[in-house]
Amino acid sequence: MLDTILPFIYIILSCYLLKFACDTFEQAAGYLGRNFPPGVKGATVNAIGSSMPEMCVVIACLFWFNDPSLVMVALGVTAGSAIFNGCVIPALSIIMAKDGNGKSVEHIELNKRVLLRDVFWVLTAEVALIVCLGFNSFTIWMAVILNVIYFLYAVHLYFDAKNHVSDDDEEYEYEEIEDRGVFANILTFNFNALFFSNRAFTATSAIIVISLAIAVISGASHILVEGVLGSSAVLGVPQFFAGLVFGAAASSIPDLILSVKDAQKGDYEDAVANPLASNTFDTTVAFALPLLAWFIINGVDSLPLVQDDNLTILRWSIVGITAAVAASLLFNYKKVTKTIAYFLLAMFTIWAASMYFVIQ
Structure confidence at residue 293 (pLDDT):
92
Using one digit for the tens of pLDDT, what is the confidence trace for 165-201? 554 445 556 667 788 888 999 999 999 999 988 888 8
Determine the Cα–Cα distance for residues 318 and 336; give it in Å rounded to an integer. Answer: 22
Q: Is 208 exposed, middle or buried (0-12, 13-18, 19+ CB in 10 A)?
A: middle
Give the pLDDT of residue 141.
Answer: 93
Residues 241-256, buried b or exposed e (16+ Cβ, 10 A)? bbbbbbbbbbbbbbbb
Note the pLDDT of residue 139.
92
Tell me the per-residue pLDDT of 329-338, one tens digit each, with 9 for 90 and over: 888 888 888 8
Three-state DSSP at 37 gives coil
pLDDT in tens, 242-292: 777 777 777 777 778 777 777 887 777 777 777 888 888 888 998 899 999
* Beta bridge partners of residue 227, listed in sequence order: none
What are the pLDDT digits (tens) for 113-136?
888 888 899 889 988 988 888 888
pLDDT tens, 93-106?
Answer: 888 888 777 778 88
Tell me if 149 sits within 8 A of 124, measured CB to CB.
yes
Which pairs with CB-CB distance under 8 Å and at least 24 residues apart come from 202-209?
203/32, 205/28, 206/28, 206/29, 206/31, 206/32, 207/28, 207/32, 209/24, 209/27, 209/28
Beta bridge partners, 107, equal 337
If one compares 311 and 220, the residue with the highest pLDDT of the two is 220
**Any idea of the CA torsion for 173, 175, 179, 185, to the nearest 10 degrees?**
-140
Average pLDDT, the chain: 81
pLDDT band at 359 (very low <50, low <70, confident <90, very high): low
pLDDT recorded at residue 168:
47
* Mean predicted confidence (pLDDT) in 44-72: 78
Please indicate whether residue 217 or residue 266 has the higher confidence score (pLDDT). 217
CB 294 within 8 Å of CB 64: no
Tally helices (H) and strands (E) across the chain: 16, 4
